[in-house]
Amino acid sequence: MPPEDWEQTLGAGPLLGIAVAAIALLLFLIIKLRLHAFVALILVSLLTAFATGVPAGSVVTVLTTGFGTTLGSVALLVGLGAMLGRMVETSGGAKVMADTLVARFGEKRAPLALGVASLIFGFPIFFDAGLVVMLPIVFAVARRLGGSVLTFGLPAAGAFSVMHVFVPPHPGPVAASELLGADTGLVILLGLVVAIPTWFVSSYMYGIWAGKKWVLPVPELLGKADEDHPDNPPSLGTVIGVLLLPLVLIFINTGLDTLRAAGVVDGDATWVGVLRAIGSTPVALLIAVLVAAWVMGRRRGRDKNQIERLLESSLGPVCSVILITGAGGMFGAVLRASGIGAALEDALGDLGLPIIVAGFLISTLLRVAQGSATVALITTAGLIEPAVAGGDFSGIQLAAIVLAVAAGSVMASHVNDSGFWLVGRFFGMDVKTTLKTWTVMETIIGLMGFAIASIFFVLG
């Protein structure tokens, strides 16, 4: 990262101009010149760092730190999630669950069923991990019914997105609640009221429409659908159990964090540390992969060599997803290190807008500038904290402010957001199609979430 004594000398105008030019150049390289996204992101990150005056000796550190930090959270999840998905898919488990969903809800309601399941799974699990766990089910239902993968994929992806951004125990709303003094329980309650109708309109209904407009085939990210399916697929209960296992472990971790914060358990106790380690997302997914390899592999008659080959085959297709996502994190890190986020804060700090509107706008601009929803949410909460502390707001109004800031943090996901690349690559979309689908859906989520939060603020 830049040395501590380095200060950005450019003003907000030039910095924002460089950010806009960088994004435009990135889109031109990828869409027009067809340069691979991984290479384009590294090149534009490098040029942006030099253009904004980041010290030359620190440029490579900024790039590699942003890349490594993103991979540290994404690579393990995507890799282990792909392995889990491969076992579920090739065992016939995904087909079993897909057939059950279609039979119970009907073919026309299959996207609704996938979305509802993702809302439930999305309560304790992060966006990235939840999406990779649901991916084989989404693909299996899409193959079973035909049509565009977006019809089934967007409702599921949108469900994980709304839960991640609006509902504790996810880190963004938890941190914002603590900074702004909002009651976490009230934020959970109102967050659900915001998240569910927002998901129905922005992800389910929009996903149905987008699936008709962009008919995309199911990617072979997890291998071919009919490859090496055994004659004795696992039962529905086994499939659900394997998929729920990492979610349960993660939820235990979340519960321990809550109890520790409340003083109910000793956070320094050895048993608490062990359980929290087991409940961390990478370890929970690792345990799920090992269990899946046993109950969906060895117990179904596969030998250890077959299982090893299946797990190995899952990693190749997701390497591109992992590297491009890491490069997206690199670009976001450059935008943060260059002082663009700070410039936005200074420019917007004295506008005199109502606190809930100011929070939403600042969060939106920080999101557009640096890509991370969590960073935008937490940074904005810290920025408006003095104004909130000095105001006379009810508990409902405080929760509404948190949700409005959260709504801004999800707006306009684009090329500097690692989630943009993750979803685009998972669903086999090029950049242009991802902008037309995922970016639009995230923006609808933000606008509708802000509208509902504003109603709570006025009535509260």
Mean pLDDT of 445-451: 97
Q: What is the pLDDT of residue 350?
A: 58
Query: 291-294 long-range contacts, Cβ below 8 Å, gap at least 24?
Result: 291/242, 291/245, 292/83, 292/84, 292/87, 292/88, 292/91, 292/242, 293/87
pTM: 0.69
Q: What is the pLDDT of residue 347?
A: 62
Q: What is the pLDDT of residue 362?
A: 83
Q: What percent of the chain is modeled with pLDDT above 90?
A: 24
Q: What is the pLDDT of residue 209?
A: 95
Backbone angles phi, psi at 130, to 5 degrees: -65, -40
Q: What is the pLDDT of residue 226?
A: 47
Contact assessment for residue 385 and residue 179, using Cβ atoms and an 8 Å cutoff? yes
Q: Where are the domains of the chain?
A: 67-171+231-319
Q: What percent of the chain is modeled with pLDDT above 70?
A: 90
Mean pLDDT of 104-114: 87
Q: What angle do CA 329, 150, 124 make, to 5 degrees?
A: 60
Summarize pLDDT for 283-323 with one digit per residue, the tens: 888 998 999 899 988 887 788 888 888 888 878 767 876 78
Distance of CA 310 to the CA centre of its chain: 26
Summarize pLDDT for 368-427 with one digit per residue, the tens: 877 777 777 777 787 777 778 777 888 899 999 999 999 999 999 988 787 898 899 889
Q: What is the pLDDT of residue 367?
A: 85
Contact assessment for residue 194 and residue 186, using Cβ atoms and an 8 Å cutoff? no
Q: Which of 20-29, 143-152, 210-219 has the lowest mean pLDDT?
A: 20-29
Mean pLDDT of 421-447: 93
Contact assessment for residue 164 and residue 191, using Cβ atoms and an 8 Å cutoff? no
Summarize pLDDT for 133-185 with one digit per residue, the tens: 788 888 888 888 888 999 999 999 999 999 888 987 676 787 788 778 888 77
The more confidently predicted of residues 73 and 124 is: 73
